[in-house]
Structure 1
């Protein structure tokens, strides 16, 4: 079997511009062109929270496409990001994807990888780690569930900075890109059994060989770049989706 892992992150459906959202849906229709499995490395949704009997509306198109990919034989791994860490049984049982909420080690594209969205990593993000812990803890989830969805979901979306980030444009770089690249080097130095560190979160596409045969990879985003990565035993490359094939 061919070992080709397709990686995307930071799509932010629900807040990203409509043209970017449509491009991502078209990309999913063609995903088999590039990969045999799909890793979504956080922030697929600008906000996602599964209540006991309720899921957010407005994302049926992407959920259907993901389920079609699974039914067509493409495994999907979903790493929760800082906007959508609250996935659960609906994504697993109804859509059929494997949900992770913490950094994990997996073999992807024939390489031994350390996978994390990237939020809360590194020494410069201590303050956010406290907020992250509170939001992802069982107590934090339980408290949010007491808020009615018609109030809680709009409040969460109002707090998001995604629309402002898209309006600023791709030329405005966040310091987190440099910090994550530095942290990737630290992970590789600390773990000899890791060949590839995969982050998202910074929105900057990056594929760098930090040591012979050992790489840092960030697949970028779908706010500015419409980018994705392809990992195989022979190569690691970044691509930008430019639209459906003709014919």
Structure 2
């Protein structure tokens, strides 16, 4: 892997506002200019489930642009979030994405890192814990797969809640975000071989240094911030695509 990693999370394609989705698609077209690899840390899609012979419609352009990045030689790695933990052979074999099981210990921008979407971590979040267990279990997947896609996909999208979150929150003042930051601090304290913890899920862009050269990073979201991070051995930089993070 290269030593310039671009990190994004919580784009929620399929539920995000049209202007934010257009901005993300433009971002993907230019991502190879910003780094050597792209790390997508969960909730790229507001819903994604691969049936045996069926994939959800509606995200062709994003998938094509991810494939174009791979064809350019840019590695694309993906950790499923609470909305899209069900990636499979289509994303891996047809699009060329490397699917990682989170939490994962990998190099991010040349730094030894602990990477997870963040759902179910940091205490509290009991509804997410229950949903995570049910959705990621073998039985849960089998039950959902038994539903016809024309029933299962609209049902999942109805239960999402993303559009309400886009209107009512930008992640500031979030107890969940505070809990995950504390969780990151604890992980760094317990693992001296880790220099960076990367979470998503909270929709709050954040870089915090918990000791010399040891950081917590959250790349934020594309519901409100249109934010991403660039990580290298020398810096961790949060940016926003087309707007100020302070807006």
| TM norm. shorter chain > 0.5 | yes
Structure 1 residues 171, 216: CA separation in 2 closer, same or farther (over 3 Å shift)? closer
Structure 1 residues 11, 171: CA separation in 2 closer, same or farther (over 3 Å shift)? closer
CA distances 1:74-103 after superposition (whole Å, capped 9, x unpaired): 001000000000001100000000112321
Map residues 94-133 of structure 1 onto 2, 5 A cutoff: 94-133=94-133
Shift of 1:127: 4.7
Shift of 1:128: 2.8
Provide the rounded CA distance (Å) in 2 between the counterparts of 1:127 and 1:226: 26
Map residues 1-247 of structure 1 onto 2, 5 A cutoff: 3-170=3-170, 173-242=173-242
Query: SS at the partner of 2:198?
Result: strand
Provide the rounded CA distance (Å) in 2 between the counterparts of 1:174 and 1:20: 22
Query: SS at the partner of 1:135?
Result: helix
Provide the rounded CA distance (Å) in 1 between the counterparts of 2:123 and 2:238: 28
Query: SS at the partner of 1:123?
Result: coil
Unmatched runs of 5 consecutive residues or more in structure 1: none
Q: Contact between 2:9 and 2:220, CA under 8 Å: does it hold in 1?
A: yes
Shift of 1:131: 2.5
Structure 1 residues 95, 216: CA separation in 2 closer, same or farther (over 3 Å shift)? same
Q: Contact between 1:85 and 1:101, CA under 8 Å: does it hold in 2?
A: no
Unmatched runs of 5 consecutive residues or more in structure 2: none
Q: Contact between 2:5 and 2:39, CA under 8 Å: does it hold in 1?
A: yes
Provide the rounded CA distance (Å) in 2 between the counterparts of 1:49 and 1:87: 6
- Tell me how many residue pairs correspond in the alignment: 243
Shift of 1:124: 1.7
Provide the rounded CA distance (Å) in 2 between the counterparts of 1:4 and 1:67: 19
Q: Contact between 2:106 and 2:113, CA under 8 Å: does it hold in 1?
A: yes
Provide the rounded CA distance (Å) in 1 between the counterparts of 2:60 and 2:240: 24
TM-score of the pair, normalised by structure 2: 0.95
Query: SS at the partner of 2:194?
Result: coil
CA RMSD of aligned residues (A): 1.4
Structure 1 residues 162, 127: CA separation in 2 closer, same or farther (over 3 Å shift)? closer
Provide the rounded CA distance (Å) in 1 between the counterparts of 2:101 and 2:236: 25
CA distances 1:175-233 after superposition (whole Å, capped 9, x unpaired): 11101000000100111110000000000000111111100000000000000000000
Provide the rounded CA distance (Å) in 1 between the counterparts of 2:122 and 2:145: 30
Provide the rounded CA distance (Å) in 2 between the counterparts of 1:126 and 1:189: 25
TM-score of the pair, normalised by structure 1: 0.95
